[in-house]
Structure 1
Amino acid sequence: MSSVSVNIASKVQLVLRVALILVIFGWILDIPGYFGKYYYTEQLLALVAGLAATITLTDPRWGRTPARATISLVLGLTVFIAFGYVSVRYPSLQLELASAPPGAVALGLLMVLGILEAARRQTGIFLPLLLLALVLFSMFIGPKLPDGFQTRELSFSRLSVYLALDTNALFSKILDIAAITVAPFIVFGFLLNAFGGSAVFSDLAAKLVGKYTGGPAKVSVVGSAAFGMVSGSAVANVVAVGSVSIPMMARAGYARHVAAAIEAVASTGGQLVPPIMGASAFLMAELLEMPYRDVALAAILPSLLFYAALMLAVDFEARRLKIGGTSDRLELPAQNSDAPDKHRWRYLIPVGILIYLLFFANRTAGSAGLWSAISIIAVHLIGPPAQIWHRLQDVWKGLLQSAAAISDIIILASAAGLIIGVLNLTGIAFQITLQMLAISGGDVGIMLLLTAGLSILLGLGMPTVGVYVLLATLAAPALIELGIQPIAAHMYVLYFGMVSMITPPIAIASFAAATVAAVSPWRTSFASLKVGAGVYLVPVAFVTQPELLLDGTLLETATALTRTLMGIGLLTLAAIGHMSRPIPLPVRIIAGLLAVANVLPVSALPQLGMAAVAACSLAILAWAAVPARTTPSLKHENT
């Protein structure tokens, strides 16, 4: 790529990223309203989608030669003009949608292709191929199927206009949430990490768990959970934290592929940790029409159980390898190294502001995220006057980096909206829900297995938010139809969409960790299954025991929590094969069966059966916790 092309692309990127931040923040602060200007939300969505697509399409990474750079630049600007035209003319365009004039068809096709190409460059070919397959099916196959399987027949022109301009497709609530609600949290997370605020959490992790058995891995787990809480991205978490944590665990005695697996599982779970969680949680709140804080509160125990399962696996593996504590500390990456360690605590102030605004001041999620981001900038600028220019540069770099991440989530939300639009317009989503209900025969257990399998299938190479959006449309309604509470159904599909990132055959987080550790991706993926065995029990537990989502009395919640912890401990014991002593295969099999029994609904077992399961579970755990007696060797006796 020539230096001229690089220079032009870099300038275009700078302008677009600044514009994206200003447009989103200006909308949340209602700047147009101060000047008496009012616009449709769809006008904002068209503008931000166009900016995000152009940011991706003109990224210098895709222009390795002058010709490719020129093509990308022209394509990006053409797509931006199309979206900009829609943003300006939307009030009049919406009156023409029903007739699908040729101009609107061409405009819609250009917009759809621009989003799909941007999505392909970001996440690979899966999303574009999925949309293409759905369009071909809906046009040539679905309408010709027998009754009971038949889908609605659509023309190409009608579909093009609908996908690009309708509020149930590209300009859906999904894109609205990504642009207005999620974007401020992305800015907050990027700034916190860029300023070195995450090091506070790493210091706390080292003090809390560093001295115990398997200390290096436990510090890594807690540090990754804290980092993931503010980043919301499993892969970004793996790359950022894994470069420090994986070598640290390897030095302590963990095999490199096991260390990579531990980091992959720990990074994946950060998407479930309140108060920020990942983008999917904000989507869930809107789809369920409930406050985000209620979703965050419901996620508290599932996220704690996720990390309890991983901590047990780390501890059991450390006992097997005889790995003790450490004085190492997990330093999370930070761009700003000027702030002395003793002043890092001040970055907890914006986190406290965020929690207050979300859970006590009843502010909207977007507003809370925006003001928290502004507060962290203010906190970072506090310091000696001589450093103010350097600190302003930190802010500038952090905002530009966050703009790239915002464009990623906007493109993903736009592509997901296109797929949801096809599913809803053609009736495919309704047909899939009906067929899942028919296959399960009304059995909740079979439906849970089907949904978990579908989650992992859709998660082959797709980010969690994309998997959740599809499953919330396809699988969650079927679960709700069988009597599962809506919050539990949506949390279930979100959870399995999340763990698809560590589940073979295509485990994105495990593959990323393997790359960092320079080990086999397949070996790392299966090691992730082993150390993360207990986490697969958690979603079943909160579906069968809604008390784990804080829907019950204190006694009911405590009982459900105790049963689930025993189940997790037993399943982890069965997977690792060691606690304080080696566990024979027959005992491991029994432990696995008891683990499942511990998460069955209370109504599925008589009280005597529950008591027997609890007694056997405690007996096995107590036996495994006692070190086996060793017979002194002859050499030792002679000595």
Structure 2
Amino acid sequence: MTAPTPSTDDQEINLEDFETKHRSSPWINRFVFTLSIFLAVAHIYINTIATLPELWVSAFHFAGFGALCALLIPANPKWQQSKFALLCDSLIVLALAGMVLYIIFFEDALYARGVTFDTADWIVSSAAVLLSLELIRRTSGWFIPVLILIALSYVVLWGQWLGGMFTFPGLSMETLLYRSFFSTDGMFGSISRISWSFVFMFILFGAFLVKSGAGDFIIDLSRALASKMIGGPGFVAVLGSGLMGSVSGSSVANTVSTGVITIPLMRRAGFPARFAAGIEAAASTGGQLMPPVMGAGAFIMASYTQVSYVTIIGAAAIPALLYFLSVGFFVRVEAKRSKVIATEDDSNIVVSQVLKEGWHHILPLAVLVTLLVQGFTPTYAAGLSIIAVILASFLSKKHKMGPVAILDAMAQGAKNMSTTAVLLIGIGLVVNVISTTGVGNTFSLLITDWAGGSLFFTIVLVAIASLILGMGLPVTASYIVLGTLSAPALFNLIAESQLVEMIASGALPETAHAIFMLVDPGVMGSLAQGMPMDQAQALVAQVPNDFKGMLMDQALGAQHVAMILVTAHMIIFWLSQDSNVTPPVCLTAFAAAAIAKTPPMLTGMTAWKLAKGLYIVPLLMAYTQLIGGDAETLMRLCFFGVFGLYALVAAMEGYLEDKLSIPFRVLALAAAVLMLWPNLDIWLQAIGLGVFLVLFILGNRSYKKAI
């Protein structure tokens, strides 16, 4: 169990977490702490009571969190003691404040002039864009600012020089700055709105949970549940990181917070150091896939698809569980191979005792889920859940949240939000360029053309693109860019593949028959009886694009079409996570390597292998009804999917309950393919399951004889 800590309601405020790089200026630290609390209170007010123009709120959101970034992160680490650097950062804060005031007081004057810029408009809008680039550079490096500059210059300069499908006649600089700054399409568009509403409220909710001691409870509960399992410490990492990630939404933060406990535990139990770090990185990456928070991805996905947030997290739950099971299978296999034993620390932890001391931490999550299911907005649900955290803390002997703890949690939540806020607002500039120029539709057509209409190769291309973007973009930004560019192509291919299967099997509803009269009247008789797959594909290809949307709604149903759109975005969101664990740039794996003291790049390779579920599960989403299927379909997919993933891990590792010879590895791979291959007859899947069970039983007997 974790060591008792004094009650937080009588502790003094600790400013160490808010100490800026200008350590010679303690008054700046107090100012940052005060600003953090002010931003938290202001955003709670904005999201619950206020009715202000979205442009004003977005500008305030950017200015406030931009000021935090400017004061917390120096322009250059070498300048952290420089008074000149402090002066420059203070001027940035004043410039950001002036930007907000300018929008509030002078926006109407711009429209009174017929949206014609005067000198002040040019200065303020240009400065806002440049400040956005600088703040993102401080928090995320050079890649994103360069990407934004390339996108903006494409609109006003070099787009007109391109030939072919990517040519763009260009806009004036005045129009570009207007759309970037004064309209709700650029910096202060839909991405910014998601940032100051859903994302902030849930990050704040996570900060309150951590402050209330929920993090310790999650780790202790995971250790208690996994202590009697083979490879228990490894399962502690999987369970703990999954549960912690479900509320934190940050894979790197998840790795750092849980890894300092789980990685030493795994090493003491006998797991190799590099494997321990890889498991923590892979499990922490899965935290962004686990509802209810999922980073900012679930909220952005809901905005893009116009599907409710509750539906999104409901669709995400089963795939996320499959991912964590796949990581868990690697743990069991390695535990058998390395003969891992339970640690004494874990054997002394009892589930009933952990629940007795920390059951109240479950109440806020129960309140959150209940409110979401009842149809309340996510921001309202998060706000009431924060209150529930405070009230539930008084049921604890260790972590009662008094006024000091509440202020500390609000300030920590604002600090945690600062880098995310400036990043999302900056990415809004790229999204604006994509929508303004039509590059998104062009890119979708290009992907379809490169893939030759193949759904599989389209997913491969998206995976490659996500890996390349992920070398410089955080996963949320990578998902936003890729979702905007490639989701339409992926959606069309998934929908068309299901439509082709329906036509081939003769299951096309009669209401959809009429559209095919426009294409080939002679085919009407074959629609009810079915036809070969290639003939069905050719028939669908002849339908004009203007009628395909109507055809899909009539054939598949509007609700199912919406779930296909969710599937397309969910696949892209999953693939965007691979940069966390895939070299050469894999920050989550690097963070785990620092804790385990293992080579970063080799640790990244290990994490990449252990996170294979990031690629297998999206294929199941694309080719089956893992998202949006009925209960019977989901039960079958999950049943065979679990054993199929276990068989695949055994084939990759060459070990099940005991070492597998090459012929047995081939059999395990064949069993995995039979169980995971989409739309196979159930008797073929049953054969695959039977082969796997025989291998498991034989391996278990060999293992027992060996010991």
Give the TM-score, by structure 1 length. Answer: 0.89
CA distance in 1, matches of 2:423, 2:372: 25
1:26 aligns to 2:26 (yes or no): no
In structure 2, the CA distance between the partners of 1:599 and 1:579, relative to structure 1 (3 Å rule), is: closer
1:521 CA displacement: 0.8
Tell me the residue number matched to 2:327.
310
**Which position in structure 1 is the counterpart of 2:97?**
80
Shift of 1:307: 0.5
With over 3 angstroms needed to count, the CA separation of the structure-2 counterparts of 1:231 and 1:329, relative to structure 1, is: farther
Q: How far off its partner does 1:99 sit? A: 3.1
State the Cα distance separating 1:539 from its structure 2 match.
1.0
CA separation of 1:572 and 1:447: change in aligned 2, threshold 3 A: same
Structure 1's unaligned 5+ residue stretches are 33-37, 333-339
Q: Give deviations 1:462-512, integer Å, cap 9, x for gaps.
A: 222111111110111111122341010010011111232111221111111
Distance 1:393 1:211, change over 3 A: same
1:107 to 1:590, Cα distance in 2 relative to 1, 3 A: farther
Give the direction of change, closer, same or farther, for the CA distance of 1:621–1:82 in structure 2 (3 Å limit): same
- Give runs of aligned pairs for residues 179-258 of structure 1, distance below 5 A: 179-258=196-275
**294 and 95 in structure 1: CA distance in 2 versus 1, 3 angstrom threshold:** farther
Q: 1:144 to 1:403 in 2, by over 3 A?
A: same
**What SS is found at the alignment partner of 1:626?**
helix
Question: RMSD across aligned C-alpha pairs, in angstroms?
Answer: 2.8
Of the candidates 56, 65, 81, which is equivalent to residue 43 of structure 1?
56
1:71 is matched with which residue: 81, 88, 111? 88
Look up the match of 2:386.
Answer: 373
Question: For residues 24 and 117 of structure 2, what CA distance do their matches in structure 1 show?
Answer: 38
Corresponding residue to 1:418 among 429, 439, 448: 429
- Superposed CA deviations along residues 372-430 of structure 1, whole A, max 9, x for unmatched, are 1122123335678x997x83322221211110112222112101111111222222222
In structure 1, distance between residues paired with 2:279 and 2:251: 13
Does the CA-based 8 Å contact 1:190-1:402 persist in structure 2? yes
> Which residue of 1 is the match for residue 361 of structure 2?
347
Q: Deviations over 1:316-339 (max 9, x none)?
A: 11011111334534999xxxxxxx
Cα deviation, 1:566-585, whole Å, max 9, x if unaligned, reads 33122211222211121234
Structure 1 letter corresponding to 2:364: P
What is the rounded CA distance, in whole Å, between the counterparts of 2:458 and 2:226 in structure 1?
Answer: 39
Q: Is 1:514–1:524's contact at 8 Å kept on the other side of the alignment? A: yes
- Structure 1 counterpart of 2:388, one-letter code: S
Q: Deviation of residue 275 (structure 1)?
A: 2.6
Q: 1:528 to 1:102 in 2, by over 3 A?
A: same
Q: Taking structure 1 as reference, are residues 573 and 632 closer, same or farther at Cα in structure 2, changes over 3 Å only?
A: closer
Runs of 5+ unmatched residues, structure 2 = 1-19, 496-563
Percent identity between the aligned chains? 28
Which of 180, 186, 191 is equivalent to 1:174?
191
Closer, same or farther: CA 560–379 of 1 in aligned 2, 3 Å: closer
Deviation (angstroms), 1:2: 10
Counterpart Cα distance in 1 of 2:694 and 2:131: 60
CA distance 1:177–1:211, shift in 2 (3 Å) = same
The one-letter code of the counterpart of 1:44 is V
2:491 aligned with 1:480: yes
- Spell out the pairing of 1:206-605 with structure 2 (5 A cutoff): 206-329=223-346, 342-359=356-373, 361-381=374-394, 391-484=402-495, 485-546=564-625, 548-549=626-627, 551-585=628-662, 587-588=664-665, 591-592=668-669, 595-596=672-673, 598-602=675-679, 605=680
Q: Could you tell me how far apart the structure 1 residues matched to 2:664 and 2:271 are?
A: 25
| Cα displacement string for residues 573-609 of structure 1 (whole angstroms, at most 9, x for unaligned residues) | 122221112123454456446545544431xx5x3xx
AA aligned to 2:334 is E
Q: CA deviation at 1:186?
A: 0.8
Deviation at 1:11, TM superposition (A): 3.4
- 1:625/1:66 CA distance change after superposition, 3 Å: farther
Residue 8 of structure 2 corresponds to which residue in structure 1?
none
> How many pairs does the alignment contain?
612
Look up the match of 1:52.
65
Q: Give yes or no for contact 1:151–1:428 (8 Å, CA) kept in 2.
A: no
SS in 2 for 1:323: coil
Residues 577 and 614, structure 2, Cα contact 8 Å, conserved in 1: no
Q: What is the CA–CA distance in structure 2 between the aligned matches of 1:121 and 1:288, rounded to whole Å?
A: 32
Native 8 Å contact 1:257 1:519 kept in 2: yes
Which digits, 9 at most, give the CA deviation of each residue in 1:525-559, with x for residues without a partner? 1111222224421111112112x22x223221122
Query: Aligned to 1:328, what secondary structure does the other structure show?
Result: helix
2:201–2:383 contact (8 Å) kept in structure 1: yes
Relative to structure 2, which stretch is displaced further, 315-324 or 5-14? 5-14
- Which residue of structure 2 lines up, in the alignment, with residue 35 of structure 1? none
